Copies of this chain bind each other. A is one copy, B any other.
Amino acid sequence: MARIPTAPIKGARDFLPRDLAPRNRVFQLMRETFERYGYEPLETPAIEHSSVLEGKYGEEGERLLFRVLKNGRDLESAAGELLGRGAEADRSAGALARALSESALRYDLTVPLARVIAARQNEIVMPFRRYQMQPVWRGDRPQRGRYREFFQCDVDCVGSRAMTVDAEMVAIHYEVYSRLGFQTFVTQVSHRGLLDALMESCGVAPELRTPARTQIDKFDKIGADGVRAELLRVGLSERVTDALLDTLSVSGAPLDILETLAPRLRGTEQGETSMRELREVFGFIRELGVPQERYELRLSMVRGSDYYTGTIYETVLPGSGLGTLGAGGRYDKLVGMFLGRDIPAVGISFGIERMLVAMADAGLLLGDVITTTQALVTLFDAATTPASIALAQALRAAGVRTEVYPEPKGLGPQLAFGSNKGIPLAFIIGPDEAARGEVKLRDLRTRQEVSVPQAAAPAEALTRLE
Contact = CB atoms under 8 A, between A and B. Distances in A.
A89 interface: yes
A392 B375 CA distance: 40
Contact of A40 (B68, B337, B373): B373
A5 B52 contact: yes
Q: How many copies does the complex hold?
A: 2
Contacts of A267: none
Interface in A265-308: 284, 287-289
A420 B105 CA distance: 33
B4 A51 contact: yes
A227 interface: no
Interface string A234-260: 000000000000000000000000000
A288 B389 contact: yes
B5 A20 contact: no
Interface in A1-42: 1-2, 4-9, 12-17, 20, 24, 35-38, 40-42
A101 interface: yes
A165 B49 contact: no
Contacts of A337: 1
Given A45-B149, A67-B68, 11 more contacts: A5-B49, A9-B45, A14-B42, A20-B42, A35-B373, A38-B404, A46-B149, A47-B137, A63-B72, A67-B71, A287-B385
22 contacts: A1-B340, A2-B51, A4-B51, A6-B52, A6-B119, A7-B119, A12-B45, A12-B47, A14-B43, A14-B45, A14-B119, A15-B42, A36-B401, A38-B402, A63-B72, A66-B71, A68-B68, A71-B139, A72-B139, A76-B93, A83-B89, A160-B406
